[in-house]
Structure 1
């Protein structure tokens, strides 16, 4: 079995979770990590068993042994760093939000295609086995004809610089709201006819609480609420004319509970045992590489671009423009 050498571009909190994940994946070799501060990269490598540490992204990307680069820098830098990887001939797994805006996303996708290189968005919700099970249950008619979806997600993030700083493409929208938006997209599809939304701002000028309603061409509706000011129950509820299902933890589904129309629990589906959940996006990227594909079926390029355009439109309606745009 080939072991894929993965390199990390960025050594922050999310990278630590991914490092802990791949340490338990026999298909993956923790090969290299780069940070702008070499001492930070060296400490990260020592803590997580990486073979090499670099104080320069460019220096790391010159290494010919790298099979895949995982990017976990702030949203504001995804375009620059992903393009740097592609220019060095590297395949890319880039954290969500894929870029700061759709224009950047389109440029990356176009260039990656021209170079015949894999690039995919690491929005883990899309890759989860239980996420796929939700659609199977709906298609089987377990709750009847589905018409309405609600979802919430919230974490205390006002102490996180990249979330509070507009220069880093901060705000709830790109960091948190992207999850319920993807959740709705996975269940109801892309045919949105109307978007209405509002937000509450922080003192730094980024959105702190978002309320987004998506109406669909076939009459369905998704009502989504997010916040960086408090922790919520992270539930998604999908309503049909014969019952409803409750999805526990929409960004990393842990359990799906099915209720009849008279509110009696009739079935429960548990997520399979996992490392952290991050392993699924890595496995999908490896599978795409082995099959010579340039994108992952779980999060195809057209979906990444569509969601980025949706986020752009919502931001524009709020009057938010990042300083670097």
Structure 2
């Protein structure tokens, strides 16, 4: 599968380095708004074509899929431009700034008959499916409560502190804790309560979200740009509990019974970086003629975007593009 990469930042570099080690795909082109940056990136990862504008890459008909690694504030325009040029797209999380943008992107992909999927990598990983199987087989009885923490010391990253660039903890790391809760309880949410500590620039530096579900079930989620956390997800059931190490890339899943004895343990299989799974999912989708990936269908992307919209509305946090 011939891959193009839009942007030359750190995430783009991880993807390029990953695909370089895969036999199923290769990076054939990279684009930056600065030709020199694109050429340096291309030389670093042995990519044959470097473009000094995004539109040049969009016009490259030899590409099977384009990976969008620009800031979240750019996804809407970048993805639409690519779709209008006939390119299939793998778009980094968060997919868009809000549900309205996401809907427009998805509708355009459907009109054009093109593949469009969100690159929230954990959804495509084998360990995501392993955790689903653990919960479905009843090892911990009925899950009733879940907690998840994902916090990093990243408040020095300029784009994360800029409201106009889609900054804040919610869309960058909070999206992972929301996806974790979705895996455990689904998306039939009865109520959302969320609090945030805001920066002077108007983005959430730290937040805490509580979701309630039918059957008196609850998820308590924390994300932050200013502290280090254990990155754990814990699921409490009627017969035991599960501890997931690193909900951003499940390293292990430990299962405990009602006596707090470990009864099962699952380790992450060897991986290049973890990004390879979303690339393989795109390859399968293109081979089978799918316009979305089953691991992260459009409906799921829209549900998570709607949750983040509701949370930000409660904070009064609007991006300039929404005003």
Q: Provide TM-score, normalisation by structure 1.
A: 0.98
Write the distance in 1 (CA, Å) between the matches of 2:129 and 2:217. Answer: 20
Q: Pick the aligned partner of 2:187 from 166, 190, 193.
A: 190
Select between 76-85 and 138-147 the one with higher mean Cα deviation: 138-147
Alignment of 1:219-258 (within 5 A): 219-258=216-255
What is the alpha-carbon distance in structure 1 between the residues aligned to residue 89 and residue 166 of structure 2? 21
Q: Which runs of 5+ in 1 are unaligned?
A: none
1:23 pairs with 2:42: no
What does 1:112-123 correspond to in 2, within 5 Å? 112-123=109-120
TM-score of the aligned structures, taking structure 2 as reference length: 0.98
Structure 2 gap segments, 5+ residues each: none
Counterpart CA distance in 1 for 2:214 and 2:277 is: 32
Task: Pick one of 172, 177, 180 that aligns with 1:180.
Answer: 177
C-alpha distance in 1 between matches for 2:61 and 2:223: 42
Q: What does the per-residue CA deviation read over 1:62-102, in whole Å, with 9 as the maximum and x for residues that have no partner?
A: 11101100001000000000001000000000000000011
The residue that corresponds to 2:137 in the other structure is: 140
Deviations 1:12-63 (A, max 9, x none): 0111111111111101111000000111111001111111101011111111
Q: Per-residue deviation at 1:203?
A: 2.0
Partners of 2:142 and 2:99 lie apart in 1 by 33
SS in 2 for 1:324: helix
Q: 2:150 aligns with which of 153, 161, 171?
A: 153
- Aligned residue for 1:135, secondary structure, equals helix
Task: Please name the residue that 1:304 is paired with.
Answer: 301
CA contact (8 A) 1:125 1:183 kept: no
Give distance in 2, aligned partners of 1:250 and 1:286: 25
- Per-residue CA deviations over 1:209-241 (Å, capped at 9, x if unaligned) read 010011012321110001100121100000111
- Residue 97 of structure 1 aligns to a residue whose secondary structure is coil
Match for residue 62 of structure 1?
A: 59
Picking from 124, 127, 147, the partner of 1:127 is: 124
In 2, Cα distance between the equivalents of 1:302 and 1:86? 19
Which runs of 4 or more aligned residues in structure 1 lie more than 2 Å from their structure 2 counterparts after TM superposition? none
* Whole-Å separation in 1 of the counterparts to 2:97 and 2:70: 12
In 2, the alpha carbon distance for the partners of 1:215 and 1:184 equals 10
Q: 1:49-88 counterparts in 2 under 5 A?
A: 49-88=46-85
Aligned length: 322
- The answer to whether the 8 Å contact 1:126/1:186 transfers is no
Structure 2 partner of 1:292: 289
Distance 2:121 2:59 in 1: 28
Counterpart Cα distance in 2 of 1:283 and 1:310? 28
